[in-house]
Amino acid sequence: MNKIIQFIFIMTFPAFVFAQGGGNAIYEQNNRYLQNKSYNADADKVWMERSDNQSNYQIIKNGNNKEMIFTVNSLMNVTADSYLAIFNITQTGETAKEVNTLVNSKINGFKAELKNQDITNENFFTDMISLVPVYEIEVEKKLFSRSYTEVPKGFEMQKNIHIKFKDENMLDDIMTSAANNEIYDLIKVEYFVENNDTKYDQLRTKAVDYMLKKKESFKKLGLDLDTIYHIISEKSSVVYPIDRYKSYQAFSGTSLQAKKSKSVTKVRKPKTMFYNKLPYHKYDIVINPAILEPSVQFTYSLTIKYVIKDPTKKIEKQFILVSPDGVVKTLKID
Mean pLDDT across the stretch 67-78? 91
Between the alpha carbon of residue 330 and those of residues 180, 315, 322, 326, 333, the distances in Å are 107, 17, 9, 13, 10
Half-sphere exposure of 87 (CA within 13 A, CB side): 24
Q: Count CB atoms within 10 A of the CB of residue 253.
A: 12
* pLDDT tens sequence across 115-124: 999 899 999 9
In order of 90, 102, 127, 136, 137, the CA distances from 96 in angstroms are: 13, 10, 17, 17, 20
Write out the DSSP string of 212-252: HHHHHHHHHTT--GGGS-EEEEEEEEEE-GGGSEEEE---P
Residue 333 has pLDDT above 90, yes or no: no
Query: Which of 9, 2, 4, 5 has its CA nearest to residue 306?
Result: 9
Give me the numbers of helices (H) and strands (E) for the chain, helices first please: 6, 13
Residue (of 89, 152, 91) closest to 126 by Cα position: 89
- Residue ranges and CATH numbers for the domains of the chain are 24-78+194-309 (no CATH), 82-192 (3.30.70.2970)
Q: Encode pLDDT of 137-176 as tens digits.
A: 776 777 676 777 776 789 999 999 999 999 999 999 999 9
49 vs 214, more confident: 214
Q: Return the sign of the alpha-carbon dihedral for residues 113, 115, 119, 122.
A: positive
pLDDT at 197: 94
Residue type, 96: A
From residue 91, give the alpha-carbon distance in Å to each of 29, 152, 175, 191. 40, 16, 19, 28
Q: What is the pLDDT of residue 73?
A: 95
Q: What angle separates helix 96-115 from helix 170-180, to the nearest 10 degrees? A: 140
Q: Residue 305: what are its φ and ψ, rounded to 5°? A: -110, 120
pLDDT at 33 over 70: no
Mean pLDDT, residues 163-191 taken together? 94
157 by DSSP, 3-state: which?
strand
Confidence of residue 253 (pLDDT cuts 50, 70, 90): low
Alpha-carbon dihedral sign for residues 26, 32, 38, 40: negative
Q: Over range 244-270, report the average pLDDT.
A: 70
H/E run at residue 151: strand 146-165
Q: What is the pLDDT of residue 83?
A: 96
| pLDDT > 90 in the chain, percent | 46
pLDDT computed for residue 263 by the predictor: 67
Q: What is the pLDDT of residue 2?
A: 41
Global pTM value = 0.69
Kindly tell me if the per-residue pLDDT of 36 is higher than 50: no
The pairing of strands 65-78 and 285-287 is: parallel
How does residue 104 score in pLDDT terms, banded at 50, 70 and 90?
very high
Give the C-alpha distances (Å, rounded to integers) separating 35 from 28, 48, 263: 10, 16, 21
Element (H, E) at 30: helix 24-35
| pLDDT in the model for residue 103 | 96
The gap from C-alpha 220 to its chain's centroid, in whole angstroms, comes to 37
Using only C-alpha atoms, the chain has a radius of gyration, in whole angstroms, of 34
* Strand ranges (E), 24-106: 57-62, 65-78, 82-93
Q: Label residue 12 by pLDDT band (50, 70, 90).
A: very low
